[in-house]
Amino acid sequence: MPSFALKRRSIIARMHVLIPFASAHSEAASHVLHDLALPSLTRLLQRLRPTLRHHGNESTLSAPHETALASAWGWPVVDGALAFAARAAARDGIAVGDQAWGLLTPAHWGAGRDHVTMADPAALALDATESRTLFDAVRPLFDSEGFLLAWGAPLRWYAAHPSLADLPCASLDRVIGRNIDAWIAKTPQVRLLRRIQSEVQLLLYTHPLHQEREDRGVLPVNSFWLSGCGVYRPAAGAEIDVIDVLREPMLGNDWAAWAEAWHELDAGAIAGLLQRSEAGADVTLTLCGERHAQTYSSHERPLWARIAGRWRSPQVSLALEAL
């Protein structure tokens, strides 16, 4: 998951849980969902009612979980222009001020026969020393064009520049494992960044760390991905817990691991949320797929509806496939 994921606390203290990658628009995901037994989720959905639904499709720049999170925070929802970078930079201790920031994620782009794809940056296993070395190497290319760069973590570099204020970019979670060309913005303000990116790619290819990492059998860093651009916005409303355990197996197309992660999630966090609901607490659950996000809530639910809900048997697989 991108860096906007919130710090986890005890599930008993949570009121709103958001789960990205709960489903995918694919035949493989559909087969897995039909065989999944998720008793806690089934019981929880019996107690809740569907409320807000974020409609989209698999080609939006922002993933449904990002749209749902931004909406819950009270942000204006503009596809591809959700300012997660500035928020992550502030959590990394960077003074973001009123500048527009973007997240620069060090990446490996692999050339195939017909297109270029990006590996999951987590697969780089990039440590702080190597990351800072590469960051310092590319920094002058940005400095010369008036960008302010800041290092936050091995996989979180940040850039500030006026051109990033309204720049729509595809989410990192949209691009991993896919044809990069389909997700590169074609807007006029991206031309400068594309030129810088070409210069960065040439520099990284000739950097000593490139060959050193190849010799060690690990992916070299040969590019970056820009996302989450915009000016810092505060988050309104109650705290939201983002649980991203389904992300890695989904992006890696490891459906057996994805099913196992769902089972663990159902027995852990979902079961905890169910316990809160059964104890009379108001709880909210947002399930996010590849196209849509659906929120379920017990807020202001009349007693008769709570009683009637116990006799319903929602088809969880259909609800998840509809995402």
Residue 146 has pLDDT above 70, yes or no: yes
> What is the pLDDT, as a whole number, of residue 299?
61
- Residue 217 exposure: Cα atoms within 13 Å on the Cβ side: 0
> What is the pLDDT, as a whole number, of residue 6?
37
Residue 105 has pLDDT above 50, yes or no: yes
Q: pLDDT digits over 253-303, tens only?
A: 999 999 999 999 999 999 999 999 999 899 999 999 999 999 999 865 555
Are 65 and 241 contacting, i.e. CB atoms less than 8 angstroms apart?
A: no
Residue-averaged pLDDT of the chain: 90
Residue 252 has pLDDT above 60, yes or no: yes
CATH 3.30.70 correct for 84-231? yes
Q: What are phi and psi of 231, to 5 degrees?
A: -90, 145
> What is the pLDDT, as a whole number, of residue 115?
87
Residue 313 has pLDDT above 60, yes or no: no
Distance of CA 57 to the CA centre of its chain: 16
Query: Which band of pLDDT confidence, cut at 50, 70 and 90, is reported for residue 251?
Result: very high
> What is the pLDDT, as a whole number, of residue 12?
41
> What is the pLDDT, as a whole number, of residue 191?
87
Residue 2 has pLDDT above 50, yes or no: no
Residues of the chain with CATH 3.30.70: 84-231
Name the residue among 64, 67, 104, 98 with its Cα closest to residue 82. Answer: 67
The pTM of this model reads: 0.89
Residue 163 has pLDDT above 70, yes or no: yes
> What is the pLDDT, as a whole number, of residue 13?
44
Mean pLDDT of 88-98: 97
> What is the pLDDT, as a whole number, of residue 311?
45
Residue 73 has pLDDT above 90, yes or no: yes
Mean pLDDT of 225-245: 93
